[in-house]
Amino acid sequence: MSKALMPTTGVSLAGESTRTWNDVEVDPITLRVIGGALQSMAKEMAQVLYRMAYSSLIRESEDLGAGIFDINGRELCESDSTPMHCGSIPAYIKGVNRRLAGTYKPGDVVLHNHPYHGAAHSPDYGVIIPIFWQGEHIGFAGCTGHVSDVGGNFPGLCMDVVDVWAEGKLMDSMKIYEAGVRNDYLIQHILDNVRTPEQNRGDLEALIACSRIGEKRFTELLEKYGLDTVMSAGERWMDYSESMLRKKIREIPDGSYTAPIGYLDDDGKNRDEPLKVAVRVQVEGEDILIDLTGSNSQVPTAFNVPFEGSVLPVAVSAIRTILLDEDLTEEFVPQNDGCFRPVKAYAPEGTIFNPDFPASCFARFSQVNRVFDSINLALAPVLPDHAIAGSSAALCAIAYSGIAPDGESYWVYIEINEGSYGGRNGKDGMDAVDALMANTRNNPIEELELNHAMRALRYELRDEAPAPGKWRGGIGSVRKWLMETDTFLGSEADNRSDPPAGALGGHNGVSGSFTRNAGTDREEVLYSKVTQETIRSGETLEIKLPSGGGFGNPFERDPFQVLSDVWDEYLTEDDARRDYGVVVNTDSWTVDENATAELRAGSAA
């Protein structure tokens, strides 16, 4: 979006309504049926993409999103996939409309990945197909997925790049099909400029098939109920989601809620220079503003964030997750444009969350995860039953690569490693679950071992004790790889040099680490963000992911839950005594209730 259009009061991801249909009454049964059909078609779209894709991030981690949208990009439905992918598609459509509005024809297929025109970042290919009904353009089917390589300065992932062009091949609203005619020369040109042409070809075909099935299913719905009924039902569902979110926002006292200042490790080039993350949540009536004023200036590497395609989706996702958690509300609220309307975000120009063109913004996930984490921490004092303590908030994406056996291309494998959630009121943090904006699955170690010259030596929960709290923090994972051939390494991670924060008396979590040849006389601690690192054959790489913060006073934790953690070897008896005031009888491995009560009483005094 044009920065000149950004008011200091914030920007919403919600689209404008341009009705090309007549509003009609929809009975409750039909409304439910159409709502269910919309959800089903979005899920089917995602399954087609997931099942057909070639790259590991899509077919294993499900790093994708899909949905149906009106002509202005207003979301009617989305798949249960990655919130970042799903939430960014409206911005993709706005970016595509900027160039192509009024030129669409039946049979068009548009490929887009420009981060300054709506894309989340350049590796997330978006395929947008206009939907026509009785000769009139009435909407879009769209999807996104993270491909293995886009032709940047390093295979798979890049950090040390000078500008957005150095990230790789940018496609700004390219029609790869026009009126049903495939442009094979253009597609071949795109594939000739990446290191993984066969993977990208398979992913592109999967993305096209995904959007086409969405176009087909939505057209079938129109054939059954008619344009006016379907779009009127969609409008009712958007209004319903908006009203439910606004209702929850009104329950928050008006005010300004500020998260503790956070710091990212560095920008991947200027080492040991932490980057500031400042988040303020402003609540006024039934509206919320996420204000990132005070955050770090943009950096001369890829560690910046596209505002429209990444910051706006995280603002919406965080607020929706906190306020409309079905575990608490026991009500299903569909995700659609209505959820976007009450939430705005603002980031000053020239900062890491709103960089000036042409700054690179390839590696942006750790930053947006920290924004989500900070929104939770800001609202924890006023919403103790909804918010969680600090999470790992540091999606650890690592690209392993090398020259393929044919000597004519690269193999590239991008892996997602799992941190953990912080504790929340009533629940311990989830162990080894990729947190917040990602919602991606872990990559199975068998996948990498079967296809590449790497062998897993460890894949388990970390040895360090979880963060103490009435509800303890989750435990991050650890992976250790043995390289059986020289392997290139690139990463866009964050070790959380400031550990995940505890909440309401809970203790902070545990930072992560990257270590080459851990436990040997050649041990070397690496930075969390690397480009063009080589791990030699016979060397190892150990990746420890951060563990989440604790929630509430640990001396209020049920002693028998503490004992259970001792039994599971998450805690030692010394940990139990020191951090929880629980005395474990090591002869019988039971709680010494009298000694525990005495120890806790002494601590309270």
Residue range(s) defining the domain that contains residue 454: 388-554
Backbone angles phi, psi at 531, to 5 degrees: -135, 135
Output the pLDDT for position 61: 86
- The answer on 15 and 98 residing in a single domain is yes
93-102, 284-293, 411-420, 587-596: lowest mean pLDDT where? 411-420
- The answer on 456 and 407 residing in a single domain is yes
For tokens 């039909």, what's the residue? 30
pLDDT in tens, 445-476: 888 888 888 999 999 999 999 999 999 999 99
Please indicate whether residue 437 or residue 121 has the higher confidence score (pLDDT).
121
- The answer on 167 and 135 residing in a single domain is yes
Output the pLDDT for position 4: 38
Output the pLDDT for position 396: 87
Q: Is the pTM of this model over 0.85?
A: yes
Read off the amino acid at residue 385: D
Q: What is the distance between the alpha carbons of residues 410 and 487, in angstroms, rounded to a whole number? A: 11
Q: What is the distance between the alpha carbons of residues 143 and 53, in angstroms, rounded to a whole number? A: 13
* CA 577 remoteness from chain centre: 37
Which of 406, 379, 289 shows the shortest CA–CA distance to 343? 289
Q: Where are the alpha helices (DSSP H) in 355-474?
A: 365-379, 445-451
- The answer on 582 and 433 residing in a single domain is no
Query: What confidence tier does 283 reach under pLDDT thresholds 50, 70, 90?
Result: very high
Mean pLDDT of 433-442: 76
Mean pLDDT of 531-556: 95
Query: What confidence tier does 2 reach under pLDDT thresholds 50, 70, 90?
Result: very low
Residue 322 lies in a domain: no
Output the pLDDT for position 6: 41
Residue 251 lies in a domain: no
Output the pLDDT for position 1: 33
pLDDT in tens, 30-43: 999 999 999 999 99
Neighbours of 364 (CB within 10 A): 26
Backbone angles phi, psi at 494, to 5 degrees: -150, 120
pLDDT at residue 5 tops 80: no
Residue 282 lies in a domain: no
Residue 159 lies in a domain: yes
Show which of 533, 554, 575 is a domain's final residue. Answer: 554
Q: Which DSSP letter does residue 355 get?
A: P
* CA 407 remoteness from chain centre: 35
Mean pLDDT of 105-123: 97
Residue 116 lies in a domain: yes
For tokens 């008896």, what's the residue? 573
pLDDT at residue 585 tops 80: yes
Pairing of strands 109-112, 275-277: unpaired
- The answer on 586 and 509 residing in a single domain is no
pLDDT at residue 292 tops 60: yes
- The answer on 591 and 474 residing in a single domain is no
For tokens 């096209």, what's the residue? 208
Output the pLDDT for position 408: 75
Backbone angles phi, psi at 544, to 5 degrees: -110, 125
Distances (CA, A) of 504 to 323, 328, 421, 508: 19, 20, 16, 11
- The answer on 567 and 548 residing in a single domain is no
pLDDT in tens, 40-51: 999 999 999 999
Query: What confidence tier does 605 reach under pLDDT thresholds 50, 70, 90?
Result: low
- The answer on 582 and 547 residing in a single domain is no
pLDDT at residue 418 tops 90: no
* CA 272 remoteness from chain centre: 25
The answer to whether residues 282 and 288 touch, using CB atoms and an 8 Å cutoff, is yes
Q: State what percent of residues in the chain have pLDDT above 90.
A: 84
Show which of 512, 531, 554 is a domain's final residue. Answer: 554
Mean per-residue pLDDT over the chain, rounded: 94
- The answer on 228 and 88 residing in a single domain is yes
pLDDT in tens, 189-241: 999 999 999 999 999 999 999 999 999 999 999 999 999 999 999 999 999 99
pLDDT at residue 344 tops 80: yes
pLDDT at residue 382 tops 90: yes
For tokens 């001396």, what's the residue? 555
pLDDT at residue 280 tops 80: yes
Q: What is the DSSP string of 118-160?
A: T-S-TTEEEEEEEEEETTEEEEEEEEEEE-S--S-SSSS---S
Q: What is the distance between the alpha carbons of residues 21 and 74, in angstroms, rounded to a whole number? A: 15
Q: Given 3-state DSSP classes, what are the helix, strand and coil percentages for the chain, each rounded to the nearest 5?
A: 35, 25, 45
* Dihedral (Cα; 349, 354, 358, 361), 10-degree rounding: 160
pLDDT at residue 3 tops 70: no
pLDDT in tens, 299-332: 999 999 999 999 999 999 999 999 998 877 788 8
Residue 253 lies in a domain: no
- The answer on 7 and 137 residing in a single domain is yes
How many domains does one find in the chain?
A: 3
- The answer on 155 and 22 residing in a single domain is yes
Q: State what percent of residues in the chain have pLDDT above 70.
A: 98
The answer to whether residues 436 and 377 touch, using CB atoms and an 8 Å cutoff, is no
- The answer on 434 and 508 residing in a single domain is yes
Query: What confidence tier does 409 reach under pLDDT thresholds 50, 70, 90?
Result: confident
Tokens of 339: 């959820």
Tokens of 111: 């490929």
Tokens of 255: 């005010």
| Residue 46 CB-half CA count within 13 A | 24
